[in-house]
Amino acid sequence: MTNSIGEIKECDFLFVIGSNTTETHPIISLEMRKAVSRGAKLVVVDPRKTELAKLADVHVPLKPGANIPLLNTMCNVIIAEGLYDKEFVANRTEGFEELKSAVENFTPENYAGVIGVPAETIREIARAYAKADNAAIFYTMGITQHTSGTHNVLAVANLAMLTGQIGKPSSGVNPLRGQNNVQGACDMAALPNVFPGYQGVTVPENVQKFTEFWGIPQSAKVGLTVGEMMDAAHHGDLKAMYILGENPMLSDPDINHVQQALENLEFLVVQDIFLTETAMLADVVLPGASFAEKDGTFSNTERRVQRVRKAIEPLAGKADWEVISEVLTAMGYPHKYASASEIFDEVAKVTPQYAGMSYARLEEKGLQWPCPNADHPGTKYLHEGKFSRGLGKFTGVDFEPPAELPDEEYPFVLNTGRRLYHYHTGTMTRRAKGLNAIYSEEFIEINPADAAKLSICDGELVKVSSRRGSITVKAQVTDMVQQGMVFTSFHFSEAPVNFLTNSARDSIAKIPELKVAAVKVEKVS
């Protein structure tokens, strides 16, 4: 997030696109409610009629994959009507002409049909966004989990920069990070293309710097992403994997492919708190420690680094950081840390955004990065006065439809997401008695009109199939979803929807298109 959670209540205009915030980020949705009760305008763009959509002044029931048409038409209106922030565009950005020509044809009239709302609605939203004192955009996977994911994100940035709605309190671009420490895992360089603190591996100075820091020559070759690792394992190029606390056998698209890939490995290590679907395939399983059993830090979606404190002894005797240091040591690279705090001090030395942090300073309220030195109070919102690269760059992006669209054989669009009561592949929440009692089984949502056509009743078992596999799951007949779309989550191993999803990936960020796959739905008699 460029803004802070605490700033949300002061927003005048909230543009929430592809985020079912009430279920995926409940506490952030409470702040959004505060803004709305203060009189802020709320526009929710979501193919489903979510709870937040019901609270909205305007709900745009976006057709699948139509993010760019919507964002581009908004830019088109704002430029055509002269509503853009001329000063901001002149002083803080470059590439305006490129954007202008890229969105020229994106008139609301041309794209209203693709988007799914009348042209006038698009105009109104665009105007209100541009004119608001403090407008903020919020998005999650509805933007990123598409083959056009990277372009979607650029289109969001274009809109914000065009109107100067960024770099101010309560105004900016706010991707809401899904899991507790996605932000931190990225900051710490659990990524193939960067060293800690987003220092690119292809930059010679960085390679030099980390070679010195760590005393081991560093590679300047960008590594493989998860999906590419699976492909490489499939081909036999990747021989071994070490997987910590992840369950790709349920979370990743096209599970059959993942299973074959993992089975093809010569050696697989899985470190986890449970014998997950993935751990079952391992050669060695190392027991992990839960968050209650170790010291450490998590970085939340507003870049706040906060303490995780050990409340009980690790059930298996070791915290994960101890296990990893022991593996490092056994491989011939001695790593001895007396505490998690010592590791954090090393992190602060090599990660510019964390340079001013220490456990002592995090004790009370944590700190929001960037925090470059020990006196720095942390940063509430990003891009004040200047973007990290200097000038903000507009990038014109064109509309590309999703990789797989419905056809005669597979007439429905399958959309996937999360539920309030569960988390990721359910390894934790499915074992929480209360949560599992409240939400003990998964459904696939289908519109009443479609259900009637297929004579499917609420609660009836249906078979859902795509080109990659099929699952059986109970139907929930609801107008939450629009006609022609079905929706479910990936939390339940009994309804492993990722057998169906498409692993087609965005060519730049390599995010799989989990929001759009073509499926057919049949009644199980």
Binding residues for ligand SF4 (CB under 6 A): 26-27
Asked whether 521 and 460 are in contact (CB, 8 A), the reply is: no
Which of residues 419 and 468 has its CB atom nearest to ligand SF4 in the complex? 419
The correct pick among 58, 80, 83, 324 for binding other proteins (CB under 8 A) is 324
Binding flag, residue 327, other proteins (CB under 8 A):
yes
Between 67-80 and 119-131, two packed helices, what is the crossing angle to 10 degrees?
A: 70
Nearest distance, CB of residue 90 and other proteins, angstroms: 35
Helix (H) or strand (E) holding 97: helix 96-102
Nearest distance, CB of residue 477 and other proteins, angstroms: 15
Nearest distance, CB of residue 152 and ligand SF4, angstroms: 24
Torsions phi, psi of 492, nearest 5? Answer: -110, 125
- The interface with other proteins within residues 232-291 (CB under 8 A) comprises 232-233, 237-246, 248, 251-252, 263, 266-267, 269, 272-275, 279, 282-288, 290-291
User: What is the DSSP secondary-structure string of 254-269?
Assistant: SHHHHHHHHHH-SEEE
Binding flag, residue 145, other proteins (CB under 8 A):
yes
Helix (H) or strand (E) holding 60: strand 58-60
Which of residues 73 and 415 has its CB atom nearest to other proteins in the complex? 415
Nearest distance, CB of residue 88 and other proteins, angstroms: 29
21-29, 127-135, 472-480, 481-489 -> range binding other proteins (CB under 8 A): 21-29
**Binding characters for other proteins, 350-379, by CB under 8 A (x = yes):** --------------xxx-------------
Q: 272 pairs with which residues across the strands?
A: 287
Residue 467 CB coordination number (10 Å): 14
Nearest distance, CB of residue 125 and other proteins, angstroms: 23
- The interface with other proteins within residues 438-457 (CB under 8 A) comprises 438
Nearest distance, CB of residue 28 and ligand SF4, angstroms: 7
Residue 449 interacts, among ligand SF4, other proteins, none and using kind-specific CB cut-offs from 5 to 8 Å, with none
In 3D space, the residue among 521, 450, 408, 482 whose CA is nearest the CA of residue 66 turns out to be 482
Binding flag, residue 462, other proteins (CB under 8 A):
no
Question: Residues binding other proteins: what is the number (CB under 8 A)?
Answer: 145
Which of residues 180 and 218 has its CB atom nearest to ligand SF4 in the complex? 180
Nearest distance, CB of residue 62 and ligand SF4, angstroms: 25
57-65, 69-77, 156-164, 429-437 -> range binding other proteins (CB under 8 A): 429-437
Binding flag, residue 203, other proteins (CB under 8 A):
no
User: What is the DSSP secondary-structure string of 259-324?
Assistant: HHHHHH-SEEEEEESS--TTGGG-SEEEE---GGG--EEEE-TTSEEEEE---S--TTS--HHHHH
**Binding characters for other proteins, 50-69, by CB under 8 A (x = yes):** -----x--------------
296-304, 370-378, 402-410, 460-468 -> range binding other proteins (CB under 8 A): 296-304
> 317-323: long-range contacts (C-beta < 8 A, 24 or more apart)?
318/287, 318/289, 319/289, 319/293, 319/294, 319/295, 320/244, 320/245, 320/271, 320/288, 320/289, 320/294, 321/294, 321/296, 323/271, 323/286, 323/288
Binding flag, residue 210, other proteins (CB under 8 A):
yes
Nearest distance, CB of residue 180 and ligand SF4, angstroms: 7
16's tokens:
């929430």
Binding flag, residue 504, other proteins (CB under 8 A):
no
Q: DSSP assignment, residue 425? A: T
How far apart are alpha carbons 64 and 47 in whole angstroms? 7
How far apart are alpha carbons 462 and 286 in whole angstroms? 38
Binding flag, residue 336, other proteins (CB under 8 A):
no
Asked whether 247 and 427 are in contact (CB, 8 A), the reply is: yes
Contacts of 463 (CB under 8 A, 6+ apart): 470, 471, 472, 521, 522, 523, 524
Residue 454 interacts, among other proteins, ligand SF4, none and using kind-specific CB cut-offs from 5 to 8 Å, with none
99's tokens:
């954007």
Q: 172 pairs with which residues across the strands?
A: 136
Which of residues 69 and 296 has its CB atom nearest to other proteins in the complex? 296
Which of residues 110 and 264 has its CB atom nearest to other proteins in the complex? 264
Binding flag, residue 493, other proteins (CB under 8 A):
no
131-139, 176-184, 442-450, 467-475 -> range binding other proteins (CB under 8 A): 176-184
Which of residues 27 and 216 has its CB atom nearest to ligand SF4 in the complex? 27
Judge residue 312's burial from the number of C-beta atoms within 10 Å of its C-beta, 0-12 exposed, 13-18 middle, 19 or more buried. Answer: exposed
344's tokens:
């954090």
User: What is the DSSP secondary-structure string of 322-354?
Assistant: HHHHHHHHHTT-----SSHHHHHHHHHHH-GGG
Which of residues 27 and 437 has its CB atom nearest to ligand SF4 in the complex? 27
Binding flag, residue 136, other proteins (CB under 8 A):
no
In 3D space, the residue among 273, 271, 270 whose CA is nearest the CA of residue 292 turns out to be 273
102-110, 160-168, 460-468, 503-511 -> range binding other proteins (CB under 8 A): 503-511
Torsions phi, psi of 296, nearest 5? Answer: 165, -160
Residue 313 interacts, among other proteins, ligand SF4, none and using kind-specific CB cut-offs from 5 to 8 Å, with other proteins
**What is the distance, to the nearest Å, from the Cα of residue 45 to the centroid of all Cα atoms in its chain?**
16
- Cis omega (within 30 of 0) on the bond before 192? no
107-115, 152-160, 172-180, 379-387 -> range binding other proteins (CB under 8 A): 172-180
Residue 77 interacts, among other proteins, ligand SF4, none and using kind-specific CB cut-offs from 5 to 8 Å, with none
Nearest distance, CB of residue 498 and ligand SF4, angstroms: 22
Residue number of the CB closest to ligand SF4 reads 27
